[in-house]
Amino acid sequence: MQLIIDIGNTLAKVALFEKTTLVEQVYLPQLTVEVLQQFLKDKPKPESAILSSVRNEDRALIEYLTSNYLFLFFSSETPLPIKNRYSTPSSLGLDRLAAAVAAASLFPGRNVLIVSAGTAITYDLITAQGEYLGGAIAPGLSMRLKALNQFTEKLPLVALSEEVQLIGTTTEESILSGVLVATRAEIDGMIDNFNKHYDQLDIILSGGDVKYFDKSLKNSIFAIPNIVISGLNQLLAYNFGKKKF
């Protein structure tokens, strides 16, 4: 059993894997040692653990994991089963790198574009040779909605909805069209651009906002919401001598 912890900008994700099988996963607004202990209560004790975080280090959590498990703290210095060609690896989001590791494992010998729709929308390319090249970063859906509200005097803050039409007949509907319909077109356009440069490109769609895109994009995609934690699971195996589960 492996314990996977991914602390993002909005939520912390905690998961248990049995080799490559996701056994259980929870999303938490805040992760502390006490919260983690409660999650693990009455569960088989994991043999190993990995922590990836975009927030400031929680020393108490790291000390707890180090004391109780074969522990890996994921950083830009962690050995990888892929080649990282990013020019500034220390500034690269670890979630993007973990997703690339998973993509290379899922589609060996293939060019893969990972589109992750969350707080930000990121595009990440890994080549058939197992080289991570980089990609692009754009504002996510919630960020776009908040920006329209915060940088104007009268536009309201609109809640996301899967039901949206091209022509909005109210201000709220018009905002949803401008955000959702336009972002779908933006993603399709980015995928088309990558397709022009890389043959036989597989597309993976991931992130917390997958449900707003997985059935509406014109390009063929593989929806894999848990790609980051799957990549962290593979990194755990690679660094502790198993190479691959």
Catalytic residues: 95
Q: Is the distance from CB of 234 to CB of 80 less than 8 angstroms? A: no
CA nearest neighbour of 142 among 53, 10, 13, 29: 10
- CA 137 – CA 224 distance, rounded (Å): 19
**What is the distance between the alpha carbons of residues 112 and 194, in angstroms, rounded to a whole number?**
10
The CB-side HSE value for 98 (13 A sphere, CA atoms) comes to 31
| Amino acid at the residue 9 | N
Burial 90-107 (b: 16+ CB within 10 A, else e): eebbbbbbbbbbbbbbbe
How many H-runs (helices) and E-runs (strands) does the chain carry? 7, 11
Give the containing element (helix H, strand E) for 145: helix 141-150
Q: Among 191, 151, 184, 141, which Cα is nearest to 165's?
A: 184
